[in-house]
Structure 1
Amino acid sequence: MPSPQDPQLYRDPWAQREAWRKHPVFSRRAMFAKAFPGFGVALVAFTGYVIVDNWLSKGKESH
C-alpha cells in the first residue's frame, strides 16, 4: 500500500479499486490452466498405459 509520501500515488480514484484485475490469479494462462483440472495427470497416465500395453503385447501374435 503506498504511503502518503510515495510519489507514485493513484491519480485516478478508481485505479486502486480496479488493481485486482492485474493480479496473476486472473491472468489468461491461469484461467486456461484451471479450465481442465486433472488433464495433465490423465494424459501422463494414458501415455503410460499405451506404452506398457504396447510393450507387453510385442511377444503376442495379433489376429
Structure 2
Amino acid sequence: MSGLPLFRDPWAKREAWRKSPVFSNRVMFRNLFPGFGIGLAAFTVYVVADNVLFSAKKSASEHH
C-alpha cells in the first residue's frame, strides 16, 4: 500500500467551494451594503457644506 487511507470522501471536490475565502463571513458582511461608505462620506460632506454656507448667509442677514 502507498500509505493512503482506504476511505475517501467522494464529495470533497463538490464541497470545496464552501471553504473558499470568497464565502467567509467577513467578506459577506462587507458586501452586504455596497456603496455605503461612499454614500456616508458624500452625505457628511453635504451636511457640513450646507451648515457652513447657511450659517454664513444667516449671520450676514441678521445684521440688518
Match of 1:31 among 25, 28, 32: 28
Unaligned segments of structure 2, at least 5 residues: 60-64
| TM-score under structure 2 length normalisation | 0.63
Deviations 1:7-63 (A, max 9, x none): xx9x6413443222111110111111221111111111101101111111222328x
**Could you say which structure has the higher helix fraction?**
2
Q: Partners of 1:27 and 1:43 in 2: how far apart? A: 25
Q: Please identify the structure whose Cα radius of gyration is greater.
A: 2
Structure 1 residue ranges, 4+ long, deviating more than 3 angstroms after superposition: 14-17
Alignment partner, residue 48 of structure 1: 45
Answer yes or no: is 1:17 the counterpart of 2:10: no
How many pairs does the alignment contain?
54
Of 31-40 and 16-25, more deviation after overlay is shown by 16-25
Amino acid at match of 1:38: G
Q: 1:57 aligns with which of 41, 45, 54?
A: 54
- Give the partner amino acid of 2:23: F
Identical columns (%): 58
RMSD: 2.5
